[in-house]
Amino acid sequence: MTQSPPATGEELQNILRRTVELLNDKLDPPQLERIASAFQTVRWEFNDLDTAVHLVSDQTGPALRFAPSVEGNPSVTIGMSSKTLDDAAWGRTSFGTAFITGKLKVKGLHPLKMSKFASMLDPFLASYREAQEEANGS
Amino acid sequence: MGANDDLPVFREADADISVLAGKTITIVGYGHLGRSLALNFRDATKAKVIIGSRKDDSRDLAEKEGFPIFDIGEAVAQADLTLLLVPDETQPEVMEGSVRANLRPGSALLFASGYNLAYDLIALPQGVDVLLFAPRMVGDVIRDLFVAEKGFLSYVSVEQDATGNAWPTLLAVASAAGSLRRGALKLSAKQEANLDLFGEQALGPWLGAAILAAYQVGLEAGLPPEGLLLEMYLSGEMSKTFQAMSDSGFFRSVYLHGYAAAFGGMTRTMAVDRDVMMETMREAVKDIQSGAFAEELQAEIEAGYPSRAFLDEMLGDDNEINRIEDNLRRKLGLDEG
């Protein structure tokens, strides 16, 4: 079913807040620990909606939590448009393709942490789809 | 820092190929390299060449090309010389599962990549010569060069000399493969692995990123995408540029492209921020030399290749460059040779 992509920064933030809640259920504790060991904060920037959100690893949880803003520098910054995120979530593109074509930019990802980062992507997109369906009432 | 006059280099005259006569050479893995070496050894030596392989397409090809085929352990048990030519990431499993227990005392075990030896992912088997013969050439081209009576460069080293005959065996292998027509340099498995990874992780990413960045900038400037790909690699001109570096020298080849190319290249090279580039290269070499990369790759393998999907997405068919390439290949008949 076609979902309406978020039209405003606030809508996107709400969907991503719920995405992070759902993501915690999809990752098992060892996966969460691996992510926490690699990244304290992942900042997601959506320049088209002038919005940024943060995925913060709770080191004691282990758990991930959503934060509109954080103090200090993020471990990794991911930049894309909200359309690219929506396209990746619904299979119209992929993060890999978006990266290669310059639609997704990654800063600060240490090459040796790639495995830990990659393991989070599919569950993240699945969570986003669920969150979006909830938001659209479908 | 400068030219190293003490770097040992071996040529045909240093090898006695007859030391392989009457021996049984087992090739484990009939991929591009395994196939080329098996065919070259069969043509160049009086050794019996047999193949150790799992049941797959490459095994069928080896059989079709007339080699005796055995399961890996069975083939190794017959060998005076075993070449372990499966991919680096599967070597430890094959080594422990089928090779180690079947190695005959006094035989030789040869690797074409130093990776697993360099990072202690394979322990040296006792009572066996352990050799490195690492071609600096694509596997299937090794056969083409052999047939054309041309050589290729390689690195060689003896990692363990249990018999006292490891060097004569190794140089005979390098000669029979066709490498010594051009030459072999003595470098250890650790040096080979470090160099190989350094090329892949320091230089490779910048080359790839430069092509992708130039493509995007060219598009922004209104240049035709087909022309951009042709200019950067698809016409084959760029590969000739690299060939010219190999033939004439990195700096000495520059004027072959004309003054406009040399002048433009020089002025724009001066504008490149090499410090940024070098910093990422320093990080890469630090992780390579400390073993951190090898540890991470091992974790990736043991976790079931979690990054593979992302890599497949990056390289997969669903991207603009692949589509433009396909279209151009069709229109220009580039696949017709």
* A69-106 pLDDT tens trace: 888 889 899 999 999 999 999 999 999 889 888 899 99
Work out the percent of chain B whose per-residue pLDDT is above 70.
98
Q: What's the confidence (pLDDT) of residue A1?
A: 57
Q: Quick one: closest CA in A to B314, which residue?
A: A96
Q: B306: which chain A residues are within 8 Å (Cβ-Cβ)?
A: 115, 118-119
Going by C-alpha positions, the residue among B240, B233, B227 that lies closest to residue B207 is: B233
Q: What's the confidence (pLDDT) of residue B123?
A: 97
- Chain A residues touching chain B at CB-CB below 8 Å: 93-97, 99-102, 111-112, 114-115, 118-119, 121-122
Q: Quick one: closest CA in B to A94, which residue?
A: B313
Query: What tens digit of pLDDT does each residue of B7-62 get?
Result: 899 999 999 999 999 999 999 999 999 999 999 999 999 999 999 998 888 889 99
- pLDDT tier, B320 (very low <50, low <70, confident <90, very high otherwise): confident
Say whether B300 and A115 touch across the interface (CB within 8 A): yes
Using DSSP, state whether A68 is helix, strand or coil: coil
C-alpha angle with apex B312: B308 to B314, nearest 5 degrees?
120
- Which pair of tokens denotes residue B106? 């006094």
pLDDT surpassing 90 at residue B277:
yes
User: What's the mean pLDDT when you consider all of chain B?
Assistant: 94
Of the segments A2-16, B106-120, B233-247, which one has the largest average pLDDT value? Answer: B106-120
Beta bridge partners of B27: B51, B83
Mean pLDDT for the stretch of residues B235-250? 92
Q: A102: which chain B residues are within 8 Å (Cβ-Cβ)?
A: 212, 216
Q: What's the confidence (pLDDT) of residue B2?
A: 59
Chain B interface mutation, best of A112, A116, A125, highest count of B Cβ atoms under 10 Å:
A112
DSSP state of A81: -
Query: What tens digit of pLDDT does each residue of B57-102 get?
Result: 888 999 999 999 999 999 999 999 999 999 999 999 999 999 999 9
**Residue pair B137/B146 in contact by the 8 Å Cβ criterion:** no
pLDDT surpassing 80 at residue B254:
yes
Q: Measured between alpha carbons, how far is residue A85 from residues A89, A104, A109, B330 in Å?
A: 6, 9, 19, 33
**Residue pair B135/B33 in contact by the 8 Å Cβ criterion:** yes
pLDDT surpassing 90 at residue B334:
no
- Chain B residues touching chain A at CB-CB below 8 Å: 201, 212, 216, 283-284, 287, 292-293, 296, 299-300, 303, 306-307, 309-316, 318-321
Of A102, A112, A118, the CB nearest to B310: A118
Query: What tens digit of pLDDT does each residue of B193-235 get?
Result: 999 999 999 999 999 999 999 999 999 999 999 999 999 999 9
Which value, to the nearest 10 degrees, does the dihedral of the CA atoms of residues A26, A28, A29, A32 take?
A: -60
Q: B89: which chain A residues are within 8 Å (Cβ-Cβ)?
A: none
Cβ-in-10-Å burial (0-12, 13-18, 19+) of A9 comes to middle
Mean pLDDT for the stretch of residues B254-269? 90
Residue of A62 and B264 predicted with greater confidence: B264
Q: A38: which chain B residues are within 8 Å (Cβ-Cβ)?
A: none
What's the gap in Å between the CA of B169 and the closest CA on chain A? Answer: 39
Q: Buried b / exposed e across B216-255, counting CB within 10 Å, b at 16+?
A: eebeeeeeebeebbbbbebeeeeeeeeebeeeeeeeebbe
Which value, to the nearest 10 degrees, does the dihedral of the CA atoms of residues A17, A21, A22, A28 take?
A: 140
Q: A114: which chain B residues are within 8 Å (Cβ-Cβ)?
A: 307, 310
What's the gap in Å between the CA of A104 and the closest CA on chain B? Answer: 12
Work out the percent of chain B whose per-residue pLDDT is above 90.
84
- pLDDT tier, A2 (very low <50, low <70, confident <90, very high otherwise): low
Using DSSP, state whether A75 is helix, strand or coil: coil
Q: What's the confidence (pLDDT) of residue A5?
A: 81
Say whether B318 and A93 touch across the interface (CB within 8 A): yes
- pLDDT tier, A36 (very low <50, low <70, confident <90, very high otherwise): confident
